[in-house]
Amino acid sequence: MKQTGLLFSILLVLIVTTAKAQLGAKKETFTRADTLRGSITSPLRTCYDINYYHLDVKFDIDNKFISGNVLFKFTAETDFTKLQFDLFSNLKLEKVVYKGKELPYTREFNAVFVTFPQTISKGSKDQFTVYYSGNPVVAKRAPWDGGIEYNVDSLGHKWVSTACQGMGASVWWPTKDQQADEADSALISISVPKGLKDVSNGRLRKVTQLKDGYTRFDWFVSQPINNYNIEANIGDYAHITDTYMGEKGKLTLDYWPLSYNVAKAKKQFGANVKPMLKAFEHWFGPYPFYEDGYKLIETHHLGMEHQSGVAYGNHYGNGYLARDLSGTGHGLKWDFIVVHESGHEWFGNNITSKDLADMWIHESFTNYSESLFIESIWGKQAGQEYVHGTRLGIQNDEPIVGTYGVNKEGSGDMYPKGGNLLNMIRTIINDDEKWREILRGLNKTFYHQTVTYEQIVNYINQQSGKNLTPVFDQYLKCKNIPTLEFMTLGGKFMCRWIADVQGFNMPVKVKIKGGEYKYLTPKTRFAPVNIEGATKDNIEVDTFNYYIGVLID
């Protein structure tokens, strides 16, 4: 999921479309604040590699106030005396402590620049602690418009969750706020008013009753994690445990519903989780976080792919809030949030895009994972119908790839159009076992890594033996889809691609009525259609699997 329009609902698509139409004429401009936030190449950020965070944060829920500190452990990548971390400017920065002494710092927008008393030498491991407090942004409509969400459950218990993808984790804790550098592990200590529980990522290490009437929950994540995935969920939670025997052995399953939803959770998670794990391990390889377990945590908001602690708010029902985003009926047979958000454990959490502009690596693959889940239970045709059906949600309003270096994601088309693109790639590769090897290979090759656009596309090119770069570029970097044009010229039946990308040459399945499909590889200049007897009256293009325009002159 992401900040705007990620998990598009029909309603949301309408809202987003209207908003974008209004903005349509204006060219987007970026500010110094956007660069400070979005740059992944700034020396003040690349000079240090985050190894570990320890968040120790107290939630005073009545006052919507938090306070605490975060320990940064890092390895110096270069010699440096100054670095940048990030903390929303509305939060008070109390002090930065290094070896028992306070460090001088300056703040600019949501960035903080700290100067050390001496050069930190390349290769050295070091640490500092940031003390802070304040009233973080209250989420207006989590998870899209995020921050901290304050609610009460039906019994009147306080119910609080964090959701900050896109917006950034620095909305509630000091951190190096970009996706390229993940902490290798993290300890998350959340103190909550007595009687409530906190459920965060990873495994619960310890619960401590504090003298001030608060209870501290220490959760440890032993595997690399994106900072936006780090979560606090505070409420009157119950706990259900189960296990799954998967590709890497025994995987612990822990469900944290509100106390009065235990029976519903047992039924809904019982019906969805193991079939989902079976499907995704088959297609993508082992669940990427056996060490930290698999968890679902009930939230007021719809859902979020928090690593080893997926936020769940789909009301224990099937579909996307009981709706089918594909219009085919296939989307009503399973719990969209369990399947989609868990799909992100492979694409998003295991493999993370370095720059937010490449959110398609998270969302296109995860959208596509929904059809593979369907295929694993109801067969390939059902999965293909689902992909085709999701075209309902495509806008072709702007490119799927956003703007690099300024924390700007692209079009919400990264969901359905991205899913359709990946299904076309499968159709072009025309070898389902090879395709499965590629999907598993991506998760193995880039295991627990952050990646670029080129790394993903090049890997698929190498493994498939096909140059699919023009296809990816057309669908991800341009807003228009390509059109296959047919024309009779000088007595010859010809075709070509009309596309934005130079050298666009996507292989496409074409047949004459009643015949068998053949792969043509048209180029952007007219060339004869090499199918015996093909004319403008009998030509048929596979527009079920190919999301393209067709023009027959």
Nearer to Zn ion, 364 or 376 (CB): 364
Measured from the CB of residue 344, what is the shortest distance to Zn ion in angstroms?
6
Q: Which is nearer to Zn ion, 166 or 389 (CB)?
A: 166
By C-beta, is 355 or 363 nearer to Zn ion? 363
Residue ranges in 54-113 that form contacts with Zn ion under rule CB under 5 A: none
CB of residue 539 vs Zn ion: minimum separation in angstroms?
38
**CB closer to Zn ion, 218 vs 341:** 341
**Nearest approach, Cβ of 208 to Zn ion (angstroms)?**
35
Q: How far is the CB of 435 from Zn ion (least distance, A)?
A: 21
Per-residue x/- track, 260-299, Zn ion (CB under 5 A) = ----------------------------------------
CA–CA dist 532, 512 (Å, integer): 9
Contact 269, 338 (CB under 8 A): yes
Site mask for Zn ion (CB under 5 A), range 463-502, x = bound: ----------------------------------------
Nearest to 253 by CA among 263, 262, 243: 243
Alpha-helical regions (H) of 193-335: 262-284
CB nearer Zn ion, residue 368 or residue 547: 368
Q: How far is CA 190 from the centre of its chain?
A: 24
Q: Using CB under 5 A as the criterion, what x/- string covers residues 414-453 for binding Zn ion?
A: ----------------------------------------
Pick 358 or 363: Cβ nearer Zn ion? 363
Nearer to Zn ion, 311 or 478 (CB): 311
**What is the nearest approach in angstroms of Zn ion to the Cβ of residue 404?**
21
Q: Are 359 and 46 in contact (CB under 8 A)?
A: no
- Spell out the long-range contacts of 321-325 with Cβ–Cβ below 8 A and sequence spacing 24 or more: 321/9, 323/9, 323/10, 324/389, 325/8, 325/9, 325/10, 325/389, 325/390, 325/392, 325/393, 325/416
What letter does residue 145 receive in the DSSP assignment? B
Question: Between 328 and 367, how does the x/- string for binding to Zn ion read (CB under 5 A)?
Answer: -----------------------------------x--x-
DSSP code string of 271-297: HHHHHHHHHHHHHH-S-TTTTT-EEEE
Q: Which is nearer to Zn ion, 85 or 360 (CB)?
A: 360
Closer of 177 and 363 to Zn ion (Cβ): 363
Residues 360-389 interacting with Zn ion (rule: CB under 5 A): 363, 366
| Nearest of 497, 493, 548 to residue 522 by alpha carbon | 497
At closest approach, how far in Å is the CB of 252 from Zn ion?
24
516 DSSP assignment: -
> For residue 341, what is the DSSP state?
H
Number of residues that bind Zn ion (CB under 5 A): 3
Q: How far is the CB of 430 from Zn ion (least distance, A)?
A: 28
Cβ-closest residue to Zn ion? Answer: 1
The CA distances from residue 526 to 164, 471, 492, 505, in Å, are: 49, 18, 10, 12
Residue 469 and residue 457 in contact, taking contact as beta carbons nearer than 8 Å: yes
Any idea how long the chain is? 553
Residues paired with 72 in a beta bridge: 53, 128
1 is an interface residue for Zn ion by CB under 5 A:
yes
Minimal distance, residue 104 CB to Zn ion, in Å: 41
Query: Smallest distance from the beta carbon of 284 to Zn ion, in angstroms?
Result: 15
E strand residue ranges, 173-316? 185-193, 197-198, 203-209, 214-221, 233-235, 240-246, 249-256, 294-298, 303-304, 310-312
Report in angstroms how near the CB of residue 343 gets to Zn ion at its nearest.
Answer: 8
Nearest residue (CB) to Zn ion, 1 versus 429? 1
**Binding residues for Zn ion, per CB under 5 A?**
1, 363, 366
